[in-house]
Structure formats: C-alpha cells, structure tokens
Amino acid sequence: MRQLILDTETTGLNARTGDRIIEIGCVELVNRRLTGNNLHFYVNPERDSDPGALAVHGLTTEFLSNKPKFAEIAAELRDFISGAELIIHNAPFDIGFLDMEFALLGLPKTTEMCAGVIDTLVNAKQMFPGKRNSLDALCDRFGISNAHRTLHGALLDSELLAEVYLAMTRGQESLVIDMLGETQSEGLGDAPRISLDDLDLPVLVATADELAAHEAVLNDLDKAVKGTSVWRIEAAEAEPDAVAA
C-alpha cells in the first residue's frame, strides 16, 4: 500500500479569501515503511503572508519571490499523489487549499486523484479524548523528538507526522513481533538454547522481617478496601494447591 504523509504551509488561514499555498511536503510510505522518495516544494504565492502566518512558518515574500508558482508544480504534484492514500493532520485545512489551487487551474479535486484521506487529528481525538492533539503534543506523547522544530515547515512536519502515524497505528504487541522478526532475520534465531532444567537455581526464602512487612501492607490494603484485598483472596485460594503438592 502506498501512502503519503502530506502537509502544507500557507499565507493565512482561509483559502476562500485569497490565501495561497507557499510550501508542500510529502513523505512516502510503502507497506508502512519510509522509502525516502519524498516530494517538497516552496511555492511563490504572488502575495504576502499574513503577519500571524509569517510568525509560524517564517517564509518571507522575498524568499518565495523566485520560487515556482503553483501552476508550475501542479502536474508533478498531481502525478505524485495519484492513487496514493493521503495522511494529513487536520485534513480539511490542507485539502481545502489544494482543492482551491487545483480549481484555479481547472483540475479535479484532490480526493478525485488520490485513493483516500486519513485525518490523524480525528484519529487522535478518538484515541485521546479531551487531550491536546496538536502535532507537538502527539510527538511528546509518543516520545518522538521534535526539538529541531522551531518553526513550522511542510516537509519537517510531514516527517514528524509519519513517525506519529506509525506509532498511533502500531500497538506494543506488533512492535515486539517486529523486533523478534528482525532478530531472527539477523540469524540470531538459530542461537543455541539453554535448558533451565539443568540449572541449579537458588531459592531465596523471605525473612521474618520481610514477611511481617508484607503482612502490614496487606493489612493496609484491607483497610483501604474495607474488606479483604484481592491479594489475600488469591493467597487463600493457592494454599490448598500448596498443601496438596
């Protein structure tokens, strides 16, 4: 499956009032693996950015003045996203701007070119209701370093979102399986095994002081639940088996 993590930077927040795309970044995943086949454009929007937007992305009118206009990169972008599933954080925003830019050139909407759209913001809100689910917040939650992200950038944000998406959609069990698979593929799966039956393992018996401390903890738990804690119940159930043995 071919997926593209996509992000844009714009001159402002509203495509309907004349704001334009100034940067596009796409990071390619094939079968959930980064391929390095990415796409990145700076785009001359033929207008200034709003002060608020400029503070976010830092791309000045002077810097963008010699960059290609959207019409010059539209065909390459269209070919790149064609047939792929797009993964976007807050998809309506980016799709709205892309659709506006394509419409100015008489081209079809984005969703008519691609195989579908996944909105990671929607997914994050379902996974973490009531929590902050910005890209920075998700990076923190999944332990993904974004220390180098001082300003927003379409390609950088796409790379971060790719890591976030993979973390969001892969459980711990899958991660362990992947690690085991990698270990076996490195030839470690044929390593000699050790029989534990042949080992003389020492058994450490709790001292009287340790048993007393354990009993005190159980007493506190009983008081907290105003009854018998689960640890006493399990211990009582296990005693007949110990006697029978």
**Alpha-carbon distances, residue 228 vs 13, 56, 172, 222, 233 (angstroms):** 60, 58, 34, 5, 7
Nearest to 139 by CA among 118, 156, 126: 156
39/2 Cα distance (integer angstroms):
14
Q: Catalytic one among 89, 148, 152, 214? A: 152
pTM, whole model, 2 decimals? 0.69
Spatial contact of 41 and 7, defined as CB atoms under 8 Å apart: no
Annotation-wise, does 48 bind a ligand?
no
Half-sphere exposure of 11 (CA within 13 A, CB side): 19
Q: What is the pLDDT of residues 21-78, one digit of tens each?
A: 999 999 999 999 999 999 999 999 999 999 999 999 999 999 999 999 999 999 999 9
Q: What is the pLDDT of residues 73-102, one digit of tens each?
A: 999 999 999 999 999 999 999 999 999 999
Nearest to 58 by CA among 9, 6, 5: 9
Q: Where are the beta strands (DSSP E) in the chain?
A: 2-10, 21-30, 33-34, 39-42, 85-88, 116-119
Predicted local confidence at residue 245, as pLDDT: 47
Q: Are strands 21-30 and 116-119 parallel, antiparallel or unpaired?
A: unpaired
91, amino acid identity: A
Q: What is the DSSP string of 201-220?
A: ---PPPPHHHHHHHHHHHHH
Annotation-wise, does 7 bind a ligand?
yes
Residue range(s) occupied by CATH 3.30.420.10 in the chain: 2-173
Q: Is the pLDDT of residue 179 over 50?
A: no
**Tokens (6 digits) for 196:** 């534990």
Residue 89: active-site member: no
Q: Does domain 2-173 have CATH number 3.90.1140.10?
A: no
Annotation-wise, does 157 bind a ligand?
yes
